[in-house]
């Protein structure tokens, strides 16, 4: 396959940046999108040019590092798929592809396609810890958890913190991410001790980081590679209002 790529290039956080056109040839339809970028970078390095900087780690759809907007869609055209799991058979020979970083004030661009997502880390840190008296090793089933609650907690814990929800939202809202991180503890008995403080602290930190308000258009849910449900946002809002009323 031969492709025309328009890629956002930016030297550092202070650089204005802009789109640069590249031609890449010999791309296999069986390769992943990131492998296609590897092919491009190999060619750039051979020419003595600066390769395109982009994030990746596991390349198995688990870590959430691959944060690219492809032709206007976070993670590209396939639903429930990260960029590293997107394959070039999604495109045709001769296609033109536009590749950009996440666009959000709270995700400043560091270089090219790499953004700083440490704001997500600070939100999770604001959630604190779970109080449990560990003591000696105990039987795994000493604290029964119903299957519906366990399933719901796992559904929330699927969030990989990639930031696609923020990139998809016109207000750059982080509500889906935060609600997933709140929700994975809120539905379990172990998470009840700090439940009120957790939701208040994490929402407060989200606001401090400069994320926008929810648009209620559910673009976040549509863009999420792990299909986190918007129901968690409704749960978090209810928890937040209840916690605000009882602690004020």
pLDDT at 140: 57
CATH topology of domain 3-110: Ubiquitin-like (UB roll) (3.10.20)
Q: 59-107, pLDDT tens digit by residue?
A: 999 999 999 999 999 999 999 999 999 999 999 999 999 999 999 999 9
Whole-angstrom Cα distance, residue 41 to residue 87?
Answer: 18
Q: Which CATH architecture has domain 117-131+145-247?
A: Orthogonal Bundle (1.10)
Does pLDDT of 158 surpass 90? Answer: yes
- Residue 169, number of CB atoms within 10 A of its CB: 24
Q: 11-63, pLDDT tens digit by residue?
A: 999 999 999 999 999 999 999 999 999 999 999 999 999 999 999 999 999 99
Question: Using the 8-state DSSP alphabet, how is residue 240 labeled?
Answer: H
Handedness of CA 186, 124, 200, 156 (dihedral sign): negative
Phi-psi sector, 100: left (phi>0), alpha (psi -120 to 50), beta: beta
Domain chopping of the chain, boundaries: 3-110, 117-131+145-247
State what percent of residues in the chain have pLDDT above 70.
Answer: 95
Where do the H-state alpha helices sit in 47-101?
none
């Amino acid at each position: 396959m031969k492709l025309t790529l328009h890629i956002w290039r930016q030297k550092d956080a202070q650089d204005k940046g802009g789109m640069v056109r590249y031609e890449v040839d010999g791309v296999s339809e069986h390769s992943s999108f990131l492998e296609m970028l590897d092919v491009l970078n190999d060619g750039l390095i051979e020419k003595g040019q600066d390769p395109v900087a982009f994030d990746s780690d596991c390349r198995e759809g688990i870590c959430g590092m691959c944060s690219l907007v492809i032709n206007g869609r976070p993670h590209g055209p396939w639903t429930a798929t990260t960029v590293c799991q997107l394959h070039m058979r999604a495109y045709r020979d001769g296609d033109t592809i536009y590749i950009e970083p996440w666009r959000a004030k709270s995700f400043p661009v560091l270089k090219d396609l790499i953004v700083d997502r440490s704001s997500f880390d600070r939100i999770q840190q604001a959630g604190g810890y779970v109080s449990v008296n560990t003591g000696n090793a105990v039987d795994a089933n000493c604290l029964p958890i119903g299957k519906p609650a366990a399933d719901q907690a796992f559904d929330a814990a699927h969030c990989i913190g990639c930031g696609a929800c923020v990139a998809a939202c016109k207000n750059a809202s982080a509500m889906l991410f935060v609600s997933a991180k709140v929700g994975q503890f809120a539905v379990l008995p172990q998470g009840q001790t700090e439940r009120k403080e957790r939701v208040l602290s994490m929402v407060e930190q989200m606001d401090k980081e400069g994320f926008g308000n929810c648009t209620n258009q559910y673009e976040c849910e549509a863009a999420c590679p792990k299909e986190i449900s918007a129901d968690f946002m409704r749960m978090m809002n209810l928890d937040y209002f209840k916690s605000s009323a009882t602690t004020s």
